[in-house]
Amino acid sequence: MSQRHWKRRLLSAIAIATAAISSNAHAQDTSGLEPTVLLVVQQGEGALTEPGPSPTAPSKPAATESIVQPESDLAAPVVDESTYAAPSYASYGAPCNCCQGGCCTKKKKEAAMAKMKGAYQGVFYANDYSYLNDPCYDGPSFFGDSLKGMLNGTLDVGGEARVRYHSERNFRGLGPTGLGLTGNDDQFWLTRYRMFANWRLSENVRFYGEYLYADSGGETFNNRPIEENRGEAQNLFLEAKLTDNLSVRGGRQELLLGAQRLVSCLDWANTRRTFDGVRATYANKDGSIDAFYTHPVKRTFAYEDKWDSTNQDVQFFGAYMTRKDTWLGQWENYYLGLNNDVADFDYHTIGSRIVGKTDSNWMYEYEGGTQFGTNSDGTDHSAGFFTGGLGRQIALTKDWKPTVWFWYDYASGGDDSLRGGDGFDHLFPLAHKYNGFMDLFGRRNLHDINAQFITPFFGEKVKLLLWYHYFMLDEKTTPFDVVMNPYNTNNPAGDRELGHEIDVLFQIALNPRNSALIGYSHFNSGKYYSTTAGVPDVDADFFYFQYQMRF
């Protein structure tokens, strides 16, 4: 049996075992576990976020929850509840006579303050401004608060402005056939603006629209496709609550599922990813399940005079289930299908994810799956991926408690062909979050052994992240970039060692609506680059600064 097929069978066995264990999880004792605070890197979002109900939700948040995970700033601790409370459709609430009588306890005030800090979610259609109508909220006011709850509490308007500076050495532009080390240097600015309107037409129906404008300037080389889009309908949908537990949404909508390894709106990019289609969500206090059928929106280049169109040749569909309190922690199972009529392939991915925390403060996460289908050349496709992480907050002193994580990421390799062999296809991920901030490698034909160190830095408003990666090829063919293009198909690989990356990032929370990032990354090329013909044998550096405001 070949090494590649042995790995496939192992991944399949793991997935089957996980499903068997978890099927009885709700009947187990959960006293030894609690929801985890998973310290991973997310894209350039706001301050720490707790998933919360819509500003107009009735007092049944569990009955309206979906499975979309919030995003936070890079290096921010993320409360890893892969659910958010789906918006409901009542107006801002009635007065609280009890609170006028002095019953706003410290706990209630802290809860209102936490809602304020977590008002902005990874997808803006899940934002929660209910704290503005909470009599127990006595925190600060922000620019844009007056735009919430207009038209008798039925209309919320807001947005985001973001600017980021890049200095890239030896990896700007396109490599021989894809992104990678190029030997080119460049410096440039990226700007992005988002505006949204959430209008509750009735108790059970709402309309949501979001506009995005993304631009770049100062570059020497051509910008990447994900850096410019001068005017776009990012979200544009109607959503209806059919019952207390079931809602249906149709139109243009962003997708953000689980930990974003396979499905993400790609916030790090200047242009965010989005889809056209329909989605149904059923949720109760124990968990939720989503089913969707969509087409990706074309993002090939910036259109200046029309909206981006639907790619009818590609179908993306699936189901995603989350159960909150199993004896292993939070448990997710999913099926994701991808068909491409032009390239003539179909891939089907079955996976699961478990995340939790023990009584002794050990944190853990597992995600893995198997992928099957048909390649463009008519051959069978058999692939898989696996991620495992173990972390803990360490009390070095009374006031200094850094967090350490150790991770292993694997994604199967195959031949050099993009749609051939048994290389894993990572679908529509947030690759930037996991396999290095320089975005040199996608989740295919890859081993990534990595470790994180996260700590407050001169106070709680600044966090420091140190992240080390050691990259290797799974098969001795070619690395693939973050959009699944092979890096070098013309020459055989001389060695499997790709190299080392170190990421240093400071996240600065100026306040809950304004944040900044300062980061530096260095890639030290490995033996693959020194022994393989046709690729530059150079190291690379990446420095960036970002400022973001939400309103």
Query: How distant, in Å, are the alpha carbons of 171, 255, 476, 481 from that of 121?
Result: 32, 13, 41, 28
Cβ atoms 414, 446 nearer than 8 A? no
pLDDT at 71: 41
pLDDT at 470: 98
Residue type, 402: P
Q: Report d(CA 145, CA 551) in Å as an integer.
A: 7
Task: Note the pTM of the prediction, 2 decimals.
Answer: 0.82
Cβ atoms 422, 4 nearer than 8 A? yes
Which residues have C-beta within 8 Å of that of residue 48, sequence separation ≥ 6?
Answer: 72, 76, 77, 78, 79, 117, 118
Taking only Cα atoms into account, the Rg of the chain, rounded to an integer number of angstroms, comes to 23
DSSP string, 409-460: EEE----S-TTSTT-----B--GGGTS-TT----SSSEEEEEEEEEEE-SST
pLDDT at 102: 61
**How far does Cα 437 stand from its chain's mean position?**
14
Cβ atoms 542, 166 nearer than 8 A? yes
Residue 506's nearest CA partner among 74, 137, 196 is: 74
Residue 36's nearest CA partner among 309, 356, 274, 316 is: 356
pLDDT tens for the chain, 551 residues long, are 444 444 444 444 444 444 443 333 333 333 333 333 333 333 333 322 233 333 333 333 333 333 333 343 443 333 333 333 444 433 344 455 554 546 899 999 999 999 999 999 999 999 999 999 999 999 999 999 999 999 999 999 999 999 999 999 998 876 444 457 888 999 999 999 999 999 999 999 999 999 999 999 999 988 888 899 988 999 999 999 999 999 999 999 999 999 999 999 999 999 999 999 999 999 999 999 999 999 999 876 555 557 788 999 999 999 999 999 899 999 999 999 999 999 999 999 999 999 999 988 899 999 999 999 999 999 999 999 999 999 999 988 888 999 999 999 999 998 888 788 899 999 999 999 999 999 999 999 999 999 999 999 988 899 999 999 999 999 999 999 998 988 888 888 999 999 999 999 999 999 999 999 999 999 999 999 999 998 889 999 999 999 999 99
Strand locations in 152-286 (E): 155-169, 186-200, 205-217, 229-241, 246-253, 275-284
Copy the structure tokens of residue 160.
């985001």
pLDDT at 298: 87
Cβ atoms 78, 42 nearer than 8 A? yes
Copy the structure tokens of residue 445.
């034909």
pLDDT at 301: 59
Residue type, 262: L
pLDDT at 7: 47
Q: Report d(CA 43, CA 265) in Å as an integer.
A: 10
Identify the bridge partners of residue 338 per DSSP, sorted by sequence position. 316, 347
Residue type, 372: F
Q: What is the DSSP letter of 538?
A: -
Copy the structure tokens of residue 371.
């992928």
Residue type, 31: S
pLDDT at 1: 46
pLDDT at 75: 38
Copy the structure tokens of residue 259.
């930990």
